[in-house]
Amino acid sequence: MNSTIFKDTYLNGEWVWAYADVPGTYIQQFGDRQQGGFLDIVQPIKKGKMLGWSESVLNLALRIEYADYNVGNFQELGLKIADHMYAIVPAISFRPSSQTVIRANYRYERHTDLLRNPASQTAGFQFGFSTYF
């Protein structure tokens, strides 16, 4: 296997725990602990002059996301509260410069509600443009 296949692969991610001050009189539907995060894997597939820009980059990317909006168990039954979602998002992006990106994503997401009903599934295309100055 050629070791340069994954040259310049970029990994970026974060994980967060959030604690909210929820009054004790509220029902368990209002979670006081949440967690979630993402991992981005970005692989440049072409660098150099493209479409008139001298230092542009074409990337393939994959983003994996997870969020649990109510960490814990129901007090009465001890069953895990299931209010969570995960998504997988393949993408292609074009950076004409280091501070501008045009990106196309296909997002597939599954969301399980508080009561563990069958997960809802959502999928769709997203297009974006960002620039920083």
Predicted local distance difference test score (pLDDT) of residue 129: 95
Q: Is residue 53 very low, low, confident or very high in pLDDT (cuts 50, 70, 90)?
A: confident
Predicted local distance difference test score (pLDDT) of residue 22: 85
Average pLDDT for residues 102-120, to the nearest whole number?
92
Average pLDDT for residues 61-74, to the nearest whole number?
92
Structural domains of the chain, count: 1
Instruction: Tell me which residue range forms the domain holding 24.
Output: 10-131
Asked if residue 3 has pLDDT above 60, the reply is: no
**3-state SS track over the chain:** CCCCCCCCCEEEEEEEEEECCCCCCCCCCCCCEEEEEEEEEEEEEEEEEECCEEEEEEEEEEEEEEEECCCCECCCCCCECCCEEEEEEEEEEEEEECCEEEEEEEEEEEEECCCCCCCEEEEEEEEEEEECC
Instruction: Please tell me the pTM assigned to this model.
Output: 0.81
Q: Residue 4: inside a domain, yes or no?
A: no
Q: Residue 3: inside a domain, yes or no?
A: no
Asked if residue 113 has pLDDT above 80, the reply is: yes
